[in-house]
Amino acid sequence: MINQAQMSDDDSGSLPQVESYKDDEGKNLIVLNGYWNSHTVNLVDDDMRRFENLKVDALTIDLSAVKSLDTAGAWLISRLHYQLAAAGVTIDVRGMRDSWRPLLETVIRDAKELDRDAPTVSVSPVVRFLEKFGRNVSNGFFDFIVAMHILGSTIRGSRTKKGHTAGISLPALFAQMDRMGVGAVPIIVLMSFIVGAIIAQQGAFQLRYFGAEIFVVDLVGILVFRELGVLLTAIMIAGRSGSAITAEIGAMKMREETDALKVIGLDPIGVLVFPRLVALAVVLPFLTVISDLSALVGAAMVAKFYSGIPYEAFIGRLKDAVYLTTYFAGLIKAPFMALIIGIIASVEGLKVGGSAESLGQRVTSSVVKSIFVVIVIDGFFAIFYASINF
């Protein structure tokens, strides 16, 4: 495109210009001059759009000083003519050359016909549903491809440079473990303590009718170790750390830092994603253990004060009800859920566009998808354990 900085002083007169006046009789007048063609009309497009909102009763468009006109210039003039005429403004075009008249009349007529005869497409709800479903399936397939690429890169190792496999950067790994693991301990402890206490209270309330309040220990132990401990921890990490991963990578994508890494020969997956995935896979099992213990402490306290079950009896019954396989049935899920959360968060972060709105949408999508997939995977594990009698 041509702009003023690129044109010489001799060419400055060829630039299109549009100005608004009032003549001696007080009539509103818009004067156009210069070359109005496809190479230059972009310079006056904004000015022409502003004139479309004029609040006048009558207007004269003077084309006497226009040196050249093609379809692009005629379109800007006809758009102004059409918008003002639609608003009830009386328009008079002055100084039009005879050779331009067919072009302007044709463009104005086509603009009116397109606006008046534009077909209204009526789409049934079924078609809209199928269209949205197909688009989601297509987007899901491409997300799966990117996720497998990230997973493969993680399994292969941290390839910080093309053709070179580097070891894990311990400072980066420990920094991520501190943020995702140590920083999450208080909220994990509080949440699990409350959930364990609620389960114990509700279980004891129902079992009291059968004189079997002691079995609330079995209920809490099996439920926490096999399902709730790891599931609640994964959901909390998906909302806390998964959103942070998406926001961090997305912000780097917006500032083109990921492109800068590629330019200097570094792999963004190895530099940004790999340490976060490894940190999640390491800290989530430990957070699961903390969650299990916190839930049991909350349940033991409720059992003591609500049902009168001594701590010694609670611990003794817990040893009889919970086996080592029960404990590992829940702990085995933790690394898988950690990888799922990290991969989904990274994929959504790499999809961030150049706006803050895109960043917010991807962070929300990351949390929703992570929680949904974590719950689905937990269901698959439950089916698998039932099939092998584990």
Q: Which uninterrupted H or E stretch holds 125?
A: helix 125-156
Q: In this structure, are residues 219 and 199 in contact, taking their beta carbons and an 8 Å threshold?
A: yes
pTM over cut 0.85: no
C-alpha 357 chain-centroid distance: 8
> pLDDT value at position 3?
39
Question: Which amino acid, one-letter code, is at 53?
Answer: N
> pLDDT value at position 375?
93
C-alpha 329 chain-centroid distance: 33
Say which DSSP state 266 is in: B
> pLDDT value at position 380?
92
Q: Which domains does the chain have, with CATH numbers?
A: 4-117 (3.30.750.24), 141-387 (no CATH)
> pLDDT value at position 214?
87
Q: What is the mean pLDDT of each run of 10 residues along the chain (390 residues)?
A: 38 70 76 84 81 80 85 83 80 82 78 56 78 86 85 66 58 84 90 93 87 87 90 92 90 84 80 86 92 93 88 89 86 91 90 80 91 92 87
> pLDDT value at position 67?
85
Cα dihedral 192, 196, 197, 199 sign: positive
